[in-house]
Amino acid sequence: MMNRRDLLRSSATLGFAAAIPFSTASPRPASAAATTPASAAATAPASAVAPATAIGRSPVPNALKPPAQGSIPVAFLISEGAVVIDFCGPWEVFETVSVRGKSDDAFRLYTVAETMQPVRASGGLKIVPDFTLATAPAPKIIVIPAQSEPTAAVLEWLRKASRTTDVTMSVCTGAFVLAKTGLLSGKAATTHHGAYAELAMAFPDIRVKRGARFVEEGNLASSGGLSSGIDLSLRVVERYFGREVAQKTAFWMEYQGEGWMNPDSNAVYAHVRSTDEHPLCPVCTMEVDPKTAPKSVFAGKTYYFCTQEHKKLFDTAPEKIAKGLASHERIENWVI
C-alpha cells in the first residue's frame, strides 16, 4: 500500500501541484514583510539570513537556506502537559512537506524530553520521547509547545541548542518557556491572547505583541495560541522552500487558513472586549460572573477576575493592566 509520503512524491512528479491555483493566490500582504530587525539579523545564524532561491523559486523575505542534501532536523521539546495541537499541528506541517526533485524527506522529526519516561500530554495522550536532552541530535528547528514548568536543564539545553538553530519557535504559552531562557530579552514575541498581560508583566523586557499570528526575531519565532503554530510552521516551510511548496503543503492538509502569509492576522485578539454587562478577567480575558468572581477597585472602576491568582497579579501593578485595557493599544506600546 502506498503511504502518504509516497503519494505526495508521486503527486508532485505527476504535476499535482499544477492543479492548485497558485497563480490566482492573493499577493503577500504588505504587513507580512519580514519582521526581523537588522540588528537581530546580524546576530542570527548564517543560514537564517542567507539569500534563498529554493527550488528555483523567487526569494521570500527572511529566507532560510535548506541543506543541499539530507533532511532538516526538527526537535519537538515536550514535558508533562504538553498541549497536543501545539506540537502535533507543526509536526503534521513538517511531515507533509514534499519538495519536487528532492530524494530525502524535507524534515526529520523527533521528540526530546528530559528523560525517556513517557510524557502525559494534554487530554492524557502518552508519548515516549525519542531522545533525552543528552542524546538528541543537534536540531536546526526547535518547536516549544505549551507545557509544564521547565527545569534548569531544559532551559540550558534550549540556550545551547539555539546557538545553531535556524528557528527556535514557541507555540501558544510555550513562549513562557522560551522567555525563561533569556533569549527573548529585548525582543518582540507573542503568545495566546489570554496570556498577553501575564507575559508582559512576567517579562517586562520582552515587547509582547498583541494581535500577532506570529513574530520573527532573528532565529527566534513565537506564535499565538494553539492553531497559530500551524501557520508559523507553514511560514518556516515558506522560508526554506518558497511560497509554492508552503501552499502545496497547506492544500494537501486541506488547511484553508492564510495566517501564515500575514503575521498580523490575529488582529481580532488585539482588543479586550470586556463590557460592564459581560465583564472579562483583565488578566486572561476569560468570561467571569460578577456575582461570584473576585474583584478589585482601581481608579473608580471595578475589575472582576476568574481566579484569586489573577486578582493578586492585577493588584501588584493595577495601573499597568488598566492602562492597556483603557487604551486598547497593542501591549508592545505599553509603558511597562
Kindly state whether residues 242 and 285 are assigned to the same domain.
no
pLDDT of residue 272: 74
pLDDT of residue 39: 37
pLDDT tens sequence across 51-63: 344 444 456 889 9
Kindly state whether residues 288 and 262 are assigned to the same domain.
no
pLDDT of residue 262: 95
pLDDT of residue 4: 52
pLDDT of residue 276: 83
Kindly state whether residues 145 and 262 are assigned to the same domain.
yes
pLDDT of residue 330: 41
Distant-in-sequence, close-in-space partners of 268: CB < 8 Å, separation ≥ 6: 211
pLDDT of residue 290: 92
pLDDT of residue 58: 53
3-state secondary structure 271-326: CCCCCCCCCECCCCCCECCCCCCCEEEECCEEEECCCHHHHHHHHHCHHHHHHHHH
Last-in-domain residue among 230, 251, 268: 268
Q: Answer whether residue 30 is part of any domain.
A: no
pLDDT of residue 273: 76
pLDDT of residue 44: 42
Q: Which of 211, 257, 210, 209 lies closest to 233, judged by CA?
A: 257
pLDDT-flagged residues of the chain (< 70): 1-59, 324-336
Q: What is the pTM of this model?
A: 0.80
Range of the domain at 276: 271-333
The grid coordinates of residue 335 equal: 509603558
Kindly state whether residues 296 and 248 are assigned to the same domain.
no
Distance CA 302, CA 224 (A): 29
Count structural domains, the chain.
Answer: 2
pLDDT of residue 111: 98
What are 111's strand-pairing partners?
Answer: 76
What are 142's strand-pairing partners?
Answer: 75, 168
Kindly state whether residues 117 and 216 are assigned to the same domain.
yes
Q: Answer whether residue 9 is part of any domain.
A: no
Kindly state whether residues 226 and 305 are assigned to the same domain.
no
Kindly state whether residues 235 and 322 are assigned to the same domain.
no
Last-in-domain residue among 268, 295, 325: 268
Last-in-domain residue among 245, 268, 291: 268
Work out the end-to-end distance of the chain between its first and last CA atoms, rounded to an integer number of angstroms: 58
pLDDT of residue 320: 78
Q: Answer whether residue 21 is part of any domain.
A: no
The grid coordinates of residue 290 equal: 460578577
pLDDT of residue 27: 37
CATH code (residue 146): 3.40.50.880
Kindly state whether residues 226 and 307 are assigned to the same domain.
no
